[in-house]
Amino acid sequence: MAEERTGGRTALHELSVQEAGMLLRSGELTSVELTRHALDRIALLDPALHAFIQVTEETALRRAAVADRDLRAGRDRGPMHGIPYALKDIFDVAGVPTTNASRLRADRVARADSTVERRLQAGGGVGLGKLTTFEFAIGGPSFDLPVPPARNPWSEQHVPSGSSSGSGAAVAAGLVRVTVGSDTSGSTRGPAFHCGAVGLKPTYGRVSGHGAWTLSQTMDHFGPLTWTVADTAAALRVIAGADPADPRTADIEVPDYTAALDRGVAGLRVASSPGWYAEDPMTMPEIVTGVEQALGVLDSLGARVEQVTLPPYEVFNACGRVICAAEAFSNLEDDLRRHPRSFGRYTYQRVMPGAGIAASDLMRAYEVRRRLTRQLDETVFDRHDVLITVCGQTTAALWSDFPADWPPPKLANDMQTIPFSVTGHPALSLPIGFAANGLPIGLQIVGRAFEEATVLRVAAALEAELGQRHRRPPEPDNTGTGA
């Protein structure tokens, strides 16, 4: 048994990328064994979780066998070599449908790989399949789509957030340790926060979106959602970098993100701004306390923590909503005109307001974004290395919080992720514990543009002090009869 090869101490799905990689390179474990274990776990647990839209079992086992042969021949392709991963179903994989969880794309089979998929394959990774998403990465946790919505592994009564909902559920449940999703206003950080995982929105332009669905050209970001900070660092090293096929990407050197994880935080300057959340009655006290505890940890480890005053959150939010709505409507306009009844109700209701945004309004929003980005740099990053703030104000929402029509009144402002999608700064959701209701809580670490390495360094220090990587959700039954 593969588990016996790890000394009987750690189940295969609990191994980090680095731990699994060491066993693969030593010959104590094979990628085929690791992949088969993941596929068996998906078969056992996913009927209740609905994290996967499609599992590519045959291809996965074939690529795992190739990864094993390469290692035996001395060809090591990097940190993801032989490691299973899965992609949000907005990324193209040649020969596999990219459905966007929509009737409108149910029969669309990709002709070529997205850049993210191509780089993961070139790095020796083993793709397991496609993960559930909100329709077109914007809809909502809908039951009127061709695939059922993903469930939160911590509680079947709660939503895993979105739009990278399958990614959050799959990672938390131990179906896969590395996924890649998209984040336009919080679609990676939200599921990570609500499922107790690590979700990184890299700097705008750090990771290519070629071959991925475009929701909002100027706000889409693409990045890893994983079980540990080190897993995120390993995955980002493989997928990051300039791409001639995507003019949004920046030709900036990609560092070894794992190299600085153990450097600690002594001497770093940390900004906090509780004005956004601490006095808001919607923010759970456990989250405020958790952020304060994390700041205390950083101070005790030698970082210098200072409070700053940020521009009003509402301005960031309004700016981002205008831009996203206008650009999303532009990208879906033809389908909206030709096939309006083929959309899920939430998707239609979220995208249609973009039809009423005038060009002059959009131009003003772009100008506000430039001003907000400049203000954030001047207020925070001219003098500080990172900003610590909340990621979400409450734990995962109940399914019953979602009425027939969007928006749900109880969820008006529960996430605080959109500001950094507006400005493009790298931002990471890090789990730091659990609320009294047993659901995960976390915080958000924001850094200077293209300084993901510093964000990951701070996250690794906090994870070592506050993380509970040993704690998994209870395994659901596999009858698929949840709420």
Residues serving a catalytic function are 88, 163, 187
Helix residue spans in 256-388 (DSSP H): 285-300, 313-338, 345-351, 359-376
Given a contact cutoff of 8 angstroms between Cβ atoms, the answer to whether 87 and 131 are in contact is: yes
Rounded distance between C-alpha atoms, residue 167 and residue 81, angstroms: 20
206 SS3 class: coil
| Among 148, 137, 143, 146, residue whose Cα is nearest residue 47 | 148
Rounded distance between C-alpha atoms, residue 296 and residue 281, angstroms: 23
Given a contact cutoff of 8 angstroms between Cβ atoms, the answer to whether 209 and 220 are in contact is: yes
CB atoms within 10 A of CB 251: 9
Rounded distance between C-alpha atoms, residue 6 and residue 112, angstroms: 37
Given a contact cutoff of 8 angstroms between Cβ atoms, the answer to whether 282 and 414 are in contact is: yes
CB atoms within 10 A of CB 26: 10
Gyration radius of the chain over CA positions: 21
CB atoms within 10 A of CB 403: 10
* CA dist 388 → 52, 150, 292, 306 (Å): 32, 29, 10, 10
* Residue 75 tokens, joined: 């060809």
Rounded distance between C-alpha atoms, residue 351 and residue 441, angstroms: 29
Q: The tokens 């959701």 sit on which residue?
A: 429
Q: The tokens 């389908």 sit on which residue?
A: 335
* CA dist 400 → 56, 158, 397 (Å): 33, 9, 8
Give the residues across from 265 on adjacent strands. Answer: none
Given a contact cutoff of 8 angstroms between Cβ atoms, the answer to whether 235 and 248 are in contact is: no
- Residue type, position 342, single letter: S
Rounded distance between C-alpha atoms, residue 336 and residue 181, angstroms: 24
